[in-house]
Amino acid sequence: MENIIFLRVSSQEQDEKQQLEPILKEFNLNKDKCLIINEKQSAFKEEKEHKRDGLKQLKKELAKKQYKKLFVFALDRLFRNRTKQKEFLEFLKLNDIELYSYSQKFLNDIYKIPKPYNEIVYNLLIEVFGHMAEEESRIKSLRVKKAYDSKNCNTWGRPKKINNKEKIVKYYNEVKSLRKTATEFKISLGSVQKIIKEETINK
């Protein structure tokens, strides 16, 4: 194998296939002839880097110098931290590995530019996209924190889908307590109230 595809999503709910299929199509790659490494982990906070098993595996494989090209959906799939991103790109240079991105298609053409101009353009554009990735992550973090604070909630992410509404209503009718019902089914008081209200309207 000469090619590696690295896929990263930030949460368990996200599907790496949404990154894989465009990459395979754009670069005309055979899935069976590529080493595919998946990771489900945030890439922004530096303190979480030690938890990135997919990134560790990627570096280990690249260090073997058996691969010529690395494919990603976007540069921020590797790192959202500009400094870390630059360090990784230096690592790729040392191991003579070309980086291709589905989202940043300028990389495809840079390798066609004669040396040393290709490296100058490459480094300049990487700096620009590194700054953009950091700024995007900063804004996203602030937006999520603001939403979290405004709701005064204790959990992150999307609300869980509740499938057993009939059982919840039945249990509530027996105990006549929102708190006991919420505790029994491990959901919020607000969710119980909403389900009971929906049931009342449907009747």
pLDDT in tens, 102-157: 988 877 777 777 777 777 777 777 677 666 666 666 676 676 666 655 554 544 45
- pLDDT surpasses 50 at 47: no
pLDDT at 30: 95
- Number of other CB atoms surrounding residue 61 within 10 Å: 17
Q: Average model confidence (pLDDT) for the chain?
A: 79
Mean pLDDT of 194-203: 72
Q: Assign 38 a pLDDT band (cuts: 50, 70, 90).
A: very high
pLDDT for res 134: 66
Two tokens, residue 13: 């709910």
Percent of the chain residues past pLDDT 70, beyond the cut? 74
Q: How confident is the model at residue 20 (pLDDT cuts 50, 70, 90)?
A: very high
User: What pTM, to 2 d.p., does this model score?
Assistant: 0.60
Is pLDDT above 90 for 22?
Answer: yes
In contact, 12 and 6? CB cutoff 8 Å = no
Q: Residue 193 has what pLDDT? A: 84
Cβ neighbors of 123 (< 8 A, separation 6 or more) are none
Listed range (39-48, 89-98, 190-199) with the worst mean pLDDT: 39-48
CB-CB neighbours of 202 under 10 Å: 6
d(CA 48, CA 55): 11
Residues 187 and 162: beta-carbon distance below 8 Å? yes
